[in-house]
Structure 1
Amino acid sequence: MNQNDIRMFLTIAKTGSLNQAAGHLFVTQPALSQQLKSLEAELGTTLFLRKQGQRNLTLTASGRGFYEIAVKMDALFQESSHVRYMEDMRSLSIHTVGSLNAHLFQPLYKRLSSMTPPLSLKISTGKTHIIYQSISDHSYDIGFVHRNLHRKDLEFLPVFRENMVLVGGTNFPIPDAPISPQELNPARELHFVWSLEYNDWHDYWFGTAIPPHIDLDQTAMVEFLLKDTDYWAIVPSSVFSMFVHPEALHVIPLLDPPPSRTCYAIYRKDQDVMPDSPIGICLRELRELVEENQWIEKL
């Protein structure tokens, strides 16, 4: 008995017809009939009732009992066929805020997915409090956030610090010296909520009387919207560093800039974070990327 015999039996049981089963299995009906007879002989029992003048086959009592076994065997055959691909397979699930996933972490994921032996990845984007909960309840292995919510069951590791930079569109007038936030026209702003601290800074300088030109919730749109315009935006330096054509835009020194922000890795205290563990490898590769990026500061 082999996997083909199990598949043959299950297909006949599901279709109730030798002719239909033969079509599904791409064999002739006589060949399938002979294969069924051989299986029944090996098991020493009749699996299907064959009534004179009827094309449909029905399971015997023995056939119904064997059906449950065959379903389990088929699943085991499928699982065992994947064993050769599972050698040294490791996995890592990562839950991260959107601005990191959309920009800085893309080369990180490429590095991790190209490792030998393979590292299977699960990558998701979420809000900070949801990321904390997903690490705590074992849904994900590691998360990356910008706020410390002080969870006793989690480790909290600073990874890098970055400044917020003022980026002017292609047609934005370039000043001769650093400018004050008071000189910026909020009606030409592309606004994104980066953090609570950033919101406080933004409200202090711009208030709420004049709405921004565009309010965004996707960082991937910022570069496109700045191109060939006189709009401006304040973005984390890690986001700007991953723009496709930063040379088409202008980074303008800003007096009284927003507070810098820090990226933290969070993971459970009981997890393996040794250098050769998936989490350890992830942190090592991220630190290397940070060292290579002139816009952010390794911690």
Structure 2
Amino acid sequence: MDFEKIKTFLSVSRNKTFSDAALELHLAQTTVSHRIKSLEEEVDLQLFERGKGRKEVILTPIGEEFYKISEEWLRLENEVQFLRTQGLLLSLIVGSVDSLNSFLFQNTYFQLSNNSNIKLQIKTLHSGEIYSEVEKRHIDIGFSLKNRAHSNVIVDKFFQSPMVVIKSSENIDSISTIIHPKDLDTQNEVFLPWGEEYISWHAYWWDPLSISRVNMDNSNILLKLLENKEKWAIVPKFIAEGVSSKYKIFELVDRPPDYVVYKLTHKSPTTLSNQAIDYFIKCYQENLG
């Protein structure tokens, strides 16, 4: 069986069109069409329903069954190919949102990078795209702020943190560590979109059309901006506690929804991928303290 044909079949099945599959595979659309036709002739099965004027293609009932078999074929082929090229070296590709890569997993990545038996690759992705990257096996384990039902992805709650306000501790004389949302000036806010539920909470307290003058989606530069003593931000408490020597932490009277992280893995991981994922979790747990 030609595994390039199998990969093409899986891509067309996911993307629903030959053109989108061609873009994903960096192939000409005619090449994709030829591979699918050749595959159907080889297995003597009609895998897709086609109709005149219909842009999308859908799997036939037997095509749906063939999809399951193809995923397993590809998984086995990938495992064999990895053994050929890497031997017993474990490879781990982690895909996560920026805030976790920057603040939560730093010690874990440091430990993994010092293990000569692990080949580590770290990707910073948006929550939504992490699901498709896990399904395509482009990453072994993902961490998203979105909880979605997905046919080929196992979703588990991984981490949870309350949200707090942080401001520069310079010139803050207040003894109270509790603050009301209405006492915060949004003109001085450094706003980060901490997930869909948080954005809804934020819109309840402040007009979403007139929110902060600083609106960003990269937490790496957050702390630099907060050096301005007038600026403030709402962040997960685990981030605030990591910088508590320079910033004062305030609890909110009406707390936002917790910052919740979901762990994503493929339903049919390879044996070596499972080993690498288990080692990642082990390192993470060792670094919790």
Contact 2:164 2:236 in 1 (8 A): yes
Max Rg structure: 1
Alignment of 1:253-292 (within 5 A): 253-272=251-270, 277-290=275-288, 292=289
Q: Which residue of 2 aligns with 1:142?
A: 141
Secondary structure at 1:250's aligned position in 2?
Answer: strand
Q: Which residue of 2 aligns with 1:93?
A: 93
- Give 1:124 deviation, angstroms: 0.6
Secondary structure at 2:139's aligned position in 1?
Answer: coil
- Give 1:253 deviation, angstroms: 2.0
TM-score normalised by structure 2 residue count = 0.65
TM-score normalised by structure 1 residue count = 0.63
Contact 2:93 2:121 in 1 (8 A): yes
Q: Which residue of 2 aligns with 1:67?
A: none
Q: Does 1:153 align with 2:161?
A: no
Provide structure 1 residue ranges, at least 5 long, that are not aligned to the other structure.
1-82, 293-299
Alignment of 1:135-214 (within 5 A): 135-171=134-170, 173-177=172-176, 178-208=178-208, 210-214=210-214
Alignment of 1:12-161 (within 5 A): 88-115=88-115, 118-161=117-160
Q: Which residue of 2 aligns with 1:220?
A: 220
Provide structure 2 residue ranges, at least 5 long, that are not aligned to the other structure.
1-82
Q: Superposition RMSD on alpha carbons, in Å?
A: 2.4
Identity across the alignment (%): 25
Contact 2:188 2:231 in 1 (8 A): yes
- Give 1:275 deviation, angstroms: 11
Report how many aligned residue pairs link the two structures: 205
The runs of at least 4 aligned residues of structure 1 exceeding 6 Å deviation read: 273-276
CA distance in 2, matches of 1:90, 1:242: 31
Residues 275/133 of structure 1: CA separation in 2 closer, same or farther (3 Å cut) = closer
Contact 1:272 1:279 in 2 (8 A): no
Q: Which deviations, in whole Å up to 9, do the C-alpha atoms of 1:185-210 show, x marking residues without a partner?
A: 11111111111111111111111353
Contact 1:95 1:125 in 2 (8 A): yes
Q: Which deviations, in whole Å up to 9, do the C-alpha atoms of 1:209-255 show, x marking residues without a partner?
A: 53313112210111111124221100112333444xx3121101211
**Structure 1 stretch 273-282 or stretch 96-105: which is displaced more?**
273-282
CA distance in 2, matches of 1:187, 1:247: 25
2:247 to 242, 246, 249: 249
Q: Which deviations, in whole Å up to 9, do the C-alpha atoms of 1:68-89 show, x marking residues without a partner?
A: xxxxxxxxxxxxxxx9x95631
Residues 87/199 of structure 1: CA separation in 2 closer, same or farther (3 Å cut) = same
